[in-house]
Each structure stands twice: as C-alpha cells, then as structure tokens.
C-alpha cells in the first residue's frame, strides 16, 4: 500500500508449483532461515515441492578447509544441521535428504512438500 511503509508481497499466495533454493541458507541467520522457509510455504501451492541445496556440513576435512577459507560459517552457528527440523516447523513434510559430492565439494539436497 502506498505510504504504509510496508512493501507489498512480490507474489500472491500459492502462486508456484515448485521452488528451488541453492546455497542461500548458509548466508542467513537462524531467524532469517525460518522467515525464508515461511515465504516459500506462502508462495507454493498445496502439494507442491521445495528443493534446497545446502553445503554438506558432515565432512570433517571439508569443514576444516571451509572454516579457514570463509571464517566462522554463520550457517553452522545458526543451526544448519537443524534445517530438516526448520523445514517441518514451516509446515513442510520432508520427503528426501541426500548427501552428494561434486568433485570434493559436499552438498546436502533436501526435498520437501507443502
């Protein structure tokens, strides 16, 4: 609304059949992760899917190298390992949770349904 100081939602509720988010949550605080998942829930139609790709934080060697290169990763401090729990808190049902590796770069792929 003009003059209200509040930005209108960019997309109407239940607009999309699918959403894909790759390596974004690592940059957000825990509260922002929850808000982002809530926004995905708002814009997805019932029964549709959200796919998230995260840095795979389960590899000790990669974690050591990443911490040196990137400093103290905000994502792990914000509860990156808790993302499945946060997905369910945002009223999604977790369907798949896979770890994949592209050369030496581990990733975690989560698929959830609204």
Structure tokens at 2: 């003009």
21-30, 44-53, 63-72, 94-103, range with greatest mean pLDDT: 44-53
Query: CA 86, CA 78: separation in Å to the nearest integer?
Result: 11
pTM of the model: 0.76
User: Has residue 67 got a pLDDT over 80?
Assistant: no
Per-residue pLDDT, 30: 82
Which residues are registered as beta bridge partners of 19? Answer: 50
* Number of other residues whose CB lies within 10 A of the CB of residue 97: 14
pLDDT (tens digit, 9 = 90+) per residue, 24-52? Answer: 888 888 888 999 999 999 999 999 999 99
How many Å from the N-terminal Cα to the C-terminal Cα in the chain? 29
Beta pairing class for 105-113 and 44-55: antiparallel
H helices of the chain, in order, are 30-43, 60-70, 74-77, 83-89
């Amino acid at each position: 609304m003009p003059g209200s100081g509040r930005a209108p939602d960019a997309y109407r509720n239940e607009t999309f059949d699918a959403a894909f988010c790759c390596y974004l949550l690592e940059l957000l605080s825990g509260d922002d992760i929850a808000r982002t998942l809530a926004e995905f829930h708002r814009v997805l139609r019932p029964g549709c899917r959200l796919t998230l790709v995260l840095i795979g934080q389960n590899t000790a060697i990669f974690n050591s190298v990443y911490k040196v290169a990137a400093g103290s990763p905000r994502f792990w401090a914000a509860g990156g390992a808790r993302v499945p729990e946060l997905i369910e808190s945002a009223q999604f049902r977790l369907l798949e949770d896979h770890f994949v590796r592209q050369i030496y770069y581990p990733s975690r792929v989560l698929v959830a349904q609204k």
